[in-house]
Amino acid sequence: MLILFVLFFSLTIVSVGNATLVYVNTTITDSAVLECSIQNKNITDWSNVRFYWQDNRDFVLYSYNEGRKMAEHVNDYYKHRVSAFPQDIIRGNISIIIKNLTLEDNERTFWAFAAVLDGSVMKKYHLEHTQICQVTLQIGVPYQNPRLDVNMKTMTAVCTTQGGFPAPEIQWVLLYTSSHQSVESRNIQTTTMQNYHDRLYSSRSTLLIPAGPHEAVSCLIHNPTLNTTMRATDTFSKGAGVTSSPECLISAAVFLLTALHWL
């Protein structure tokens, strides 16, 4: 049985002084909106608005000056990937959208700077290249469906998954009727490895099944960035439960000694 809980996009907003700090969690290859709005009641003429976005490498993503996109200022890394919302700029909305996200964009921080020139004879700035917003992207890659193999002779269960990012959080649960029982960490051995080329993770977790009236065992794979959890469940023979035969105890002892060796 496989259960999938999905939330591919999440947004966290924090206000610090006059700036808005936003954390956006999204999926690789998707798009992300970097939201930002100029809030100033004294501005009545938006025709002279200027703004630009840059990342923590000082690469310019988007540049806009008095009604025109300044494509010549945009870094090659972001060309053809970033656009704004022209119809909303006249209302102070300087949000942009980044397309085709990759893991190179993960944990990247972006800042928006704006200046609005007063159209009156005074020719003064309401804002003069002031930092308005700060956004950090967190990119995730969904894991493949976990595989769960149970060996009742050795009283072990092995759960494997691969192809995801960041490293997964793995939890084991034993089920009996309607109750769930968590498993002690000393009964679990988990190995997680990252591929050097694509940066994706693979994990293998082995559970030493304790004795008890368990009816099923579940392995839960949680992606902390995407806030998704996949569950693989194996149901034991009805009413059989898990007993500790001498053969099982020997296998269990060997497994436990091996697990302790790797700690």
Q: At 14, which CATH number?
A: 2.60.40.10
CA distances from 135 to 20, 207, 252 (A): 8, 40, 50
Considering its fold, how many domains does the chain have in total? 2
Q: Tell me which long-range contacts 189-194 makes (C-beta under 8 A, separation of at least 24).
A: 189/258, 189/259, 189/262, 192/167, 192/168, 194/167
CB 19 within 8 A of CB 162: no
Provide the domain limits for residue 69.
2-140
Last residue of a domain, one of 106, 140, 174: 140
Mean pLDDT of the chain: 81
For residues 132 and 233, state if they share a domain. no
Nearby residues of 86 by Cβ (< 8 Å), 6 or more positions away: none
Last residue of a domain, one of 140, 160, 192: 140
Structural tokens at position 130: 């002031």
Percentage of the chain modeled with pLDDT above 70: 75
Which of 100-114, 177-191, 231-245 is predicted least confidently? Answer: 231-245
Q: Would you state the pLDDT for residue 178?
A: 75
Shared domain for 123 and 177, answered yes or no, is: no
216, amino acid identity? A
Whether 152 and 73 map to the same domain: the answer is no
In sequence order, the β-bridge partners of residue 170 are 221
Same domain? 51 vs 164: no
32 and 9 assigned to the same domain: yes
Tokens describing residue 61: 């993503």
Quick check: helix, strand or coil at residue 103?
helix
Q: What pLDDT is attached to residue 213?
A: 87
Same domain flag for 157 and 77: no
Both 46 and 131 in a single domain?
Answer: yes
**Residue 47, pLDDT score:** 74
Per-residue pLDDT at 263 exceeds 50: no
From CA 125, how far away is CA 114, in angstroms rounded? Answer: 10
Report pLDDT for 127: 62
Tell me what the mean pLDDT of segment 103-123 comes to.
82
Is the pLDDT score of 137 beyond 80? yes
Same structural domain, 181 and 239: yes
Q: Are 43 and 133 in a shared domain? A: yes
Give dist(CA 260, CA 248) in Å, integer: 18
Distance CA 143, CA 230 (A): 8
**Is residue 121 within a helix (H) or strand (E), and if so which, with residue range?**
none
87: exposed, middle or buried (C-beta count within 10 Å: 0-12, 13-18, 19+)? exposed
| The predicted structure's pLDDT at residue 190 | 97
Considering only residues 129 and 228, tell me which one the structure prediction assigns the higher pLDDT.
228
Predicted local distance difference test score (pLDDT) of residue 161: 97
pLDDT at 38: 84
Please tell me the distance from the alpha carbon of residue 120 to that of residue 117, in angstroms, as a whole number.
9
Kindly calculate the radius of gyration of the chain based on its CA atoms and give it in whole angstroms.
26
**Which of 140, 162, 195 is at the close of a domain?**
140
Are 83 and 195 in a shared domain? no
* pLDDT, position 20: 54
Looking at the fold, whether 247 and 167 belong to one and the same domain comes out as yes
What is the distance between the alpha carbons of residues 127 and 117, in angstroms, rounded to a whole number? 7
* pLDDT at res. 192: 98
DSSP per residue over 175-207, as a string? Answer: EETTEEEE--GGGEEEEEEE-TTT--EEEEEEE
Per-residue pLDDT reduced to its tens digit, 7-57: 334 544 434 334 556 789 999 999 999 999 887 767 767 677 889 999 999
3-state secondary structure of 3: strand
- pLDDT, position 90: 84
Lowest mean pLDDT among 90-94, 109-113, 197-201, 240-244: 240-244
Task: Kindly report which listed range (42-46, 174-178, 242-246) carries the lowest average pLDDT score.
Answer: 242-246
Residues 203 and 152 in one domain: yes
pLDDT greater than 70 at residue 6: no
Q: What is the mean pLDDT of residues 73-78?
A: 96
